[in-house]
Amino acid sequence: MSERDEREIRLGEARRLSQLLICVAEQAKAGFAAAVAPFGLPVPLARAFLTLGSSAPMRDLADRLACDRSYVTSLADQLEERGLVARVPGDDRRVKLLALTEAGEELRERMSTALAEQALVLRRLDDADRAALAPLLEKLVGDDEAGAPAGW
């Protein structure tokens, strides 16, 4: 088999694996949406809510979500309307922290559990599979940057 053929085959397999990965990702996304829907939060709001630890400067949230500060303002407005977070003044008086309210903490606990329970990795894989998967995913994410351990 020629070098060229080998390269072709390798590329073809990469394609197939990539597609599988995307497929899994889409199912995971759908799973997230489904798990979160009963709690009445639209997906982006839920993501922000869960990414926010129990308290963080708005700026930090923008970094973790990789979005603009102005969008965080809008997310914060919506979360505040729902009584899930409160803006509390920071040490530096330019800064505002977003802090979970009591209701927020409680909801986070419930959502977090619901999410884990329906996780694809739990429903489709056994212990051995999960043990094998973890290091592969770690290699895939690399040690680039972010890794944004998200709070949930």
Residue among 89 and 147 whose Cβ is closer to a second copy:
147
Q: Classify strands 55-57 and 96-100 as parallel, antiparallel or unpaired.
A: antiparallel
Residue among 7 and 69 whose Cβ is closer to DNA:
69
Could you say whether residue 67 binds a second copy (CB under 8 A)? no
Least spacing, CB of residue 9 vs a second copy, in Å = 11
End-to-end CA distance of the chain: 49
Q: Identify residue 20 by its one-letter amino acid code.
A: L
Could you say whether residue 139 binds a second copy (CB under 8 A)? yes
Q: CA torsion 55→60→29→123, rounded to 10°?
A: -50
Q: Which helix (H) or strand (E) holds 88?
A: strand 85-89
Helix, strand or coil for residue 105?
A: helix
Pick one of 36, 52, 72, 107: the residue that binds DNA (CB under 7 A): 72
Could you say whether residue 71 binds DNA (CB under 7 A)? yes
Dihedral sign for Cα atoms in the order 90, 96, 100, 101: positive
Binding site for DNA (CB under 7 A): 42-45, 57-59, 62, 66-74, 76-77, 87, 90, 92-97
Binding site for a second copy (CB under 8 A): 10-25, 27-29, 32, 112-113, 115-117, 119-122, 124-125, 129-130, 132-134, 136-142, 144, 146-150, 152
